[in-house]
Amino acid sequence: MPPEDGAEHFADAVLRQSSRRGFLEWAGGALIALAGGSAAARMVLPDDAEAYTNFCGHTYTTGNCPHPTGLPRVDRYSYPLRAGDGHPVDDLGRPINAQGYPVDARGNVLREADGEPLSPAPRSKVCTAAGAEHGLKLQIDGSWYRCCGGRVRRLMDCCGYTSRRINGDSALVGYCYSGRNVFCVQYYETNIPC
Amino acid sequence: MLSGLALSAMLTALVAGIAGAWSPCGFSMVDTIGTALGDARRPATFVACTTFTAGAVLGGALTFGGLASVGELIGGPAGGVREALGAGLALAAAIADWRGVRIAPQIRRQVPERWRWTMPLPLACGLYGILLGLGFTTFVLAFAVWALAGISLAAASPSVGLLIGLAFGVGRALPVLWMAPGMRSGEGGQRLEEMAAEPRLWLGLRRLDALGLGLCALFLSGTAAAAAPLGSDPSAAGEQLVWQPPRGPGVLRVGSGRTLTLPGSYPAVSRSSIAWLQNGVITVARQGTLAVTASFSVGQANALALSDEWVVYRGQATGGSESLAGISLINPSGPRYAMRSRPAGQIGRPGLDGSTVVFTLNTSRRSAIEAMNLVTGARRLLRAAESGAAFANPSLLHGRLLYERIDRCAQQLRIGSMDSATHDRVLLSLPSTVRRDPGYQPGYEHNWNGASLCPGGGAGGGGTIRLGATAIDASAVFVTEIPQNARDAQILTLPG
């Protein structure tokens, strides 16, 4: 994990003071502008794609939730999807059909050398699995929506009672409630054009 | 029990160690320890001999055990290439040693003489022993030493490497032990002079080494040839291995390496019997004669496991569901079910040891390896994961569980106790076959996304080889490697 510079820490600290980002986009911006960090202000409170980190719509620096194929794209129930095409994948990252069996690019069930279908594997909610991997009980609290690639994208924080986020440093409040903080982030691609 | 390779490599190492006595350091050691630097007390020589021997054995173990460990770490889908290279190296060295070719590359270095004067004799001799035992810190007196390094690497078995190292260390110490104690009486000195005047003895030892290396090459090439039979679903017992080729009936390979086509498919083998499936009938026969001892009509089935007490099969119902059942060979009656009516693919291929059947039960909610005692019906959960990993292809022998654990980053072949995963060892690790993105979208600021990455691997298409069915016997484990074209599946043999 690369160390963060002071501006980023300051930005995250600002956000930590509130659970509602709408307010902070105003108040935080003012504070940072006062601090003289115009570049930092652009970084912290983005209004264009360049300010997002790792993927479109993700503000601030909290890391991705562990995901079988990389980018933390999930379906509406928080199960993992392959980011490139939205195909459902199991916990091993294999594209699967509706019954959970691994399939090839054409949707045919993959088979063992003796013709037996490949066994299904567990498919877990990404947030819950992140918690299990790090010994935490995590859940989705609030979320935020942004326009990404012509569709509305829902940014979801994976929250828990933890002072540390997946990056290893202090966790933010983000979209979390009731004293929970953001441990890692994921997103859901809606079908709504924008 | 020692394998042929281990035994021949040990003897070669012992002789190569003895041949090292004809080096400048070898002579110096006898003289240094035998005269005890003028100390008239015999115990001084005795202690120096002891520390020198301990050092030499330690040095040998470090070099050859270390190389074998590196070979094990490299592991991977060598498919017999590594063994073939090792065999080639051993053969080349054997020819060179037989012909007495001048050693090249030669290491023209000696142990530090100043240690004799600056350290207590036992300590200096202990350190000298380590340096000579290491093999490559001073003059090398036989190509066998280079070849043994390659053999250790190719064998990829730390235990074999350690045995080679121990034998080499003992070999380096033997001439010292033989001559040094007699130096004062003159007898040892005479032996040393005879040795110095007679290079033919050294050349004779190199010829012995050549013979040993020839045997090593033979065993290694046998391993290379045996490493990758084309097919899947191995089953092993004693020196018998059976498997299912991509097409046609099963194949039996006996200890001599001879293969035999069986009358049916999905073969399985136990210590005394062999079984196959043909037209819905399981046939059990004696090994060697293939005389039929029992047959059971079971309908459609697609996997068999066999012990001397039970035969277990995975049956297929007309609706596509599958079940797992066993039939006693001692007291045959109706089938005893280990698992009933599951969708195809959920019940894994069974493994059988005595009356205990092991199998995976995989759904999208949980992956597990279960065991069931077919006599009592008692079930046990051996390994399980509800997220992040899947288990596959277990085999069982005398409480040792061989299985595969697959997660989003890697496929691992593991072995351990069936009672606990605490001390499981990874025998083979391949990258996941899944294509992964880099965890960030191109064009966006790339910040911390470590959770999206796999250790030692980033984005990309993943591996092309998938691990398949396994088998285990007393001295080796077998695993199927399935490339993208499953018809090219092959069975790897690894030291157990």
Distance CA B439, CA B271 (A): 51
Range name among B48-52, B117-121, B221-225 with the lowest pLDDT average: B221-225
Q: B484 to chain A, minimum CA–CA distance in Å?
A: 10
Sort strands B476-482 and A139-148 into parallel, antiparallel or unpaired.
unpaired
Q: A79 to chain B, minimum CA–CA distance in Å?
A: 11
Distance CA B116, CA B106 (A): 25
- All residues of chain A having their beta carbon less than 8 Å from the beta carbon of residue B448 are 1-2, 61, 63, 167
Task: Quote the percentage of chain A above a pLDDT of 90.
Answer: 57
Distance CA B490, CA B468 (A): 9
Q: A142 to chain B, minimum CA–CA distance in Å?
A: 22
Each residue's pLDDT tens digit, B235-247: 999 888 999 988 8
C-alpha distances (whole Å) from B17 to each of B95, B335, B486 are: 19, 60, 47
Sign of the Cα torsion B478, B481, B487, B488 reads negative
CB contact under 8 A, A69 and B437: yes
Residue A22 has pLDDT above 50, yes or no: no
- Give the residue among B306, B315, B314, B313 at the shortest CA–CA distance from B285: B306
> Does the CB of A88 have a partner CB in chain B at under 8 Å?
no
If contacts are CB pairs under 8 Å, which of residues 421-480 in chain B contact chain A? 432-441, 443-453, 459, 468-469, 480
CA A189 to chain centre: 12
CA torsion angle B293 B298 B300 B303 (round to 10): -60
B187 versus A122: which is more confidently predicted? Answer: A122
Q: Scan for tokens 């072949």, then name that residue.
A: B413
* pLDDT (0 to 100) of residue B348: 94
Q: Which residues contact A158 (CB under 8 A, 6 or more apart)?
A: A65, A126, A127, A130, A131, A138, A139, A140, A182, A183, A184, A185, A186
Whether the model pTM is above 0.90: no
> Does the CB of A70 have a partner CB in chain B at under 8 Å?
yes
Per-residue pLDDT averaged across B14-40, rounded?
Answer: 80
- Cis before B455? omega within 30: no
B222 pLDDT tier (thresholds 50, 70, 90): low
Q: B482 to chain A, minimum CA–CA distance in Å?
A: 7
Each residue's pLDDT tens digit, B275-319: 999 999 999 999 888 899 999 999 999 999 999 999 999 999 888
* pLDDT (0 to 100) of residue B265: 93
Which residue of chain B comes nearest to A92, CA vs CA? B408
CB contact under 8 A, A133 and B388: yes
Residue A101 has pLDDT above 60, yes or no: yes
If contacts are CB pairs under 8 Å, which of residues 3-32 in chain B contact chain A? none
Q: A8 to chain B, minimum CA–CA distance in Å?
A: 11
> Does the CB of B196 have a partner CB in chain A at under 8 Å?
no
* pLDDT (0 to 100) of residue A30: 47
A74 pLDDT tier (thresholds 50, 70, 90): very high
Average pLDDT, chain B: 87
Spell out a b/e string for A16-33, using b for 16 or more CB atoms within 10 Å of the CB, else e. Answer: beebebeebbeebbebbe
Task: Quote the percentage of chain A above a pLDDT of 70.
Answer: 74
If contacts are CB pairs under 8 Å, which of residues 153-182 in chain A contact chain B? 166-167
> Does the CB of A121 have a partner CB in chain B at under 8 Å?
yes
Return the number of CB contacts < 8 Å for A and B: 180
CB contact under 8 A, A112 and B408: no
Nearest by CB to B449, from A63, A83, A115: name it. A63
CB contact under 8 A, A114 and B302: yes
* pLDDT (0 to 100) of residue B442: 86
Cβ count within 10 A of residue B149:
21
Instruction: Confirm if B380 and B370 have CB atoms less than 8 A apart.
Output: yes
Distance CA B204, CA B331 (A): 62
Range name among A89-93, B123-127, B154-158 with the lowest pLDDT average: B154-158
* pLDDT (0 to 100) of residue A35: 47
Distance CA A119, CA A115 (A): 12
CB contact under 8 A, B390 and A69: no
Length of chain B counted residue by residue: 496
Range name among A16-20, A102-106, A173-177, B148-152 with the lowest pLDDT average: A16-20
> Does the CB of A132 have a partner CB in chain B at under 8 Å?
yes
Per-residue pLDDT averaged across B252-259, rounded?
Answer: 82
* pLDDT (0 to 100) of residue B461: 75
Per-residue pLDDT averaged across A23-44, rounded?
Answer: 45
Instruction: Confirm if A122 and A32 have CB atoms less than 8 A apart.
Output: no
Distance CA B360, CA B284 (A): 25
Quick check: helix, strand or coil at residue A10? helix
Sign of the Cα torsion A180, A181, A187, A192 reads positive
Check: complex ipTM more than 0.90: no
- Phi then psi for residue B339, to 5 deg, are -155, 135
Instruction: Confirm if A186 and A74 have CB atoms less than 8 A apart.
Output: yes
> Does the CB of A51 have a partner CB in chain B at under 8 Å?
yes
Find which of B233, B437, B465, B466 to mutate to test the A interface (most A CBs within 10 Å of its CB): B437
- All residues of chain B having their beta carbon less than 8 Å from the beta carbon of residue A111 are 486
B41 pLDDT tier (thresholds 50, 70, 90): low
CB contact under 8 A, A91 and B487: no
B80 pLDDT tier (thresholds 50, 70, 90): low
**3-state DSSP of B35-77:** HHHHCCCHHHHHHHHHHHHHHHHHHHHHHHHHHHHHHHHHCCC
If contacts are CB pairs under 8 Å, which of residues 149-188 in chain B contact chain A? none
CB contact under 8 A, B445 and A122: no
B377 pLDDT tier (thresholds 50, 70, 90): very high
- All residues of chain A having their beta carbon less than 8 Å from the beta carbon of residue B362 are 119-121
B414 pLDDT tier (thresholds 50, 70, 90): very high
CB contact under 8 A, A70 and B452: yes
Spell out a b/e string for B72-86, using b for 16 or more CB atoms within 10 Å of the CB, else e. Answer: beebebbebebbbbb
B402: left (phi over 0), alpha (psi -120 to 50) or beta: beta
If contacts are CB pairs under 8 Å, which of residues 15-44 in chain A contact chain B? none
Each residue's pLDDT tens digit, B88-114: 888 899 999 998 888 888 888 888 878
